[in-house]
Amino acid sequence: MADCKVAIIGGGISGLAAGFFLKADHDSDYDFTIFEKQDRLGGTIGTTREDGYIVDWGSNGFLDREPLTLEFVDRLGLREKLNPADLKSERRFIFRNDRLWEIRPNPKTFLKSGLLSLPGRLRIAFEYFKPGRKDDRDESIFDFAKRRIGKEAAETLIDPMVSGIYGGDARELSLKACFPRMFEMERMYGGLIKAMLKKKKESGGKSGGPAGPGGRLTSFEGGLYTLIEGLEKVLENHLMYPIEVRAIVKSGDKFVLETSHGKPEFDAVIIAVPAYHAARMLAGLNWTVSDMLNRIPYSSLAVVCQGFDKQAFENPPAGFGFLVPHSQKKQVLGSIWTSEIFPDQAPEGKVLLRTMLGGSVNPQVVEKPEAEIASTALEELSKMMGINSEPEYQKVIRWKNAIPQYTLGHLERMERIEAELKQIGSIFLAGNAYWGIGMNDCIKRSHAIVRDLTD
- pLDDT for 134-177, tens place per residue? 888 999 999 999 999 999 999 999 999 999 999 999 999 999 99
CA 423 to chain centre: 30
384 within 8 A of 321, measured Cβ to Cβ: no
State residue 203's pLDDT score. 66
Distance CA 183, CA 304 (A): 33
**pLDDT recorded at residue 152:** 97
Please tell me the predicted confidence (pLDDT) of residue 27.
84
CA end-to-end span of the chain:
19
Q: In whole angstroms, what is the distance from residue 82 CA to residue 223 CA?
A: 10
pLDDT at 206: 53
**CA angle centred on 224, ends 25 and 55, rounded to 5°:** 165
Task: Decide if pLDDT at 121 tops 50.
Answer: yes
Reduced DSSP (H G I as helix, E B as strand, rest coil) percent helix, strand, coil of the chain, to 5: 45, 25, 30
CA atoms of 192 and 194, how far apart (whole Å): 5
Separation between Cα atoms, residue 133 and residue 151, nearest integer Å? 18
Whether the CB-CB separation of 396 and 293 falls below 8 Å is answered with: no
Residue 217 pLDDT greater than 60, yes or no: yes
pTM (two decimals):
0.94
User: Where does the pLDDT of residue 208 fall: very low under 50, low under 70, confident under 90, or very high at 90 and above?
Assistant: very low
**Residue 196: CA atoms inside 13 Å, Cβ hemisphere, count?**
13
Residues 6+ apart with CB under 8 A from 205: none
Amino acid making up residue 317: P
Question: Rounded distance, CA 191 to CA 193, Å?
Answer: 6
The residue count for the chain: 455
Taking the CA of residue 354 as centre, how many other CA atoms within 13 Å lie in the half-sphere pointing to its CB?
A: 25
* Mean pLDDT computed over every residue of the chain: 94
**Residue 185 clears pLDDT 80, i.e. is over it:** yes
What number is the average pLDDT over the span 258-268? 96
One-letter amino acid at 246 equals: R
CA-to-CA distance for 432 and 405, rounded, in angstroms?
10
Condensed to tens digits (0 to 9), the pLDDT of residues 395-429 reads: 999 999 999 999 999 999 999 999 999 999 999 99
pLDDT value at position 297? Answer: 97
pLDDT, position 204:
65
Identify the H or E element spanning 401: strand 393-404
Q: What angle do CA 182, 184, 186 make, to 5 degrees?
A: 80
pLDDT at 211: 37
Integer Cα distance of 445 and 65 in angstroms: 16
As a whole number, mean pLDDT of residues 5-34 equals 96
Residue 363 gets which letter from DSSP? Answer: G
Mean predicted confidence (pLDDT) in 2-20? 95
- Residue 112's pLDDT is 83
What pLDDT sits at residue 259?
97
> What's the pLDDT score for residue 1?
44
C-alpha distance from residue 432 to each of 21, 115, 237, 438 (Å): 18, 33, 25, 7
Q: Does pLDDT of 210 surpass 60?
A: no
SS3 at position 107: helix
- Reading phi first (left if > 0) and then psi (alpha if -120 to 50, else beta), residue 436 is in left
Model confidence pLDDT, tens digit, residues 341-369: 999 999 999 999 999 999 999 999 999 99
Nearest one of 29, 23, 152, 43 to 97, comparing CA atoms: 152
CA atoms within 13 A on the CB side of 43: 22
Residue 205 above 70 pLDDT?
no
Give the single-character DSSP code of 331.
Answer: S
One DSSP character per residue, 291-327 reads HHHHT--EEEEEEEEEEEEGGGBSS---SSEEE--GG
**Tens-digit pLDDT profile for residues 275-331:** 999 999 999 999 999 999 999 999 999 999 999 999 999 999 999 999 999 999 999
- Return the bridge partners of 337, or none: 353
* Residue 368 confidence (pLDDT): 97
Residues 282/289, Cβ–Cβ less than 8 Å:
yes
Q: How far apart are CA 330 and CA 16, in angstroms?
A: 37
Segment 77-82 shows an average pLDDT of 98
In angstroms, the CA 211 to CA 320 distance is 8
pLDDT digits (tens, 9 = 90+) for 383-393: 999 999 999 99
Neighbouring CB atoms inside 10 A of 261's CB total: 12
| pLDDT score for 212 | 43
pLDDT at position 176:
96
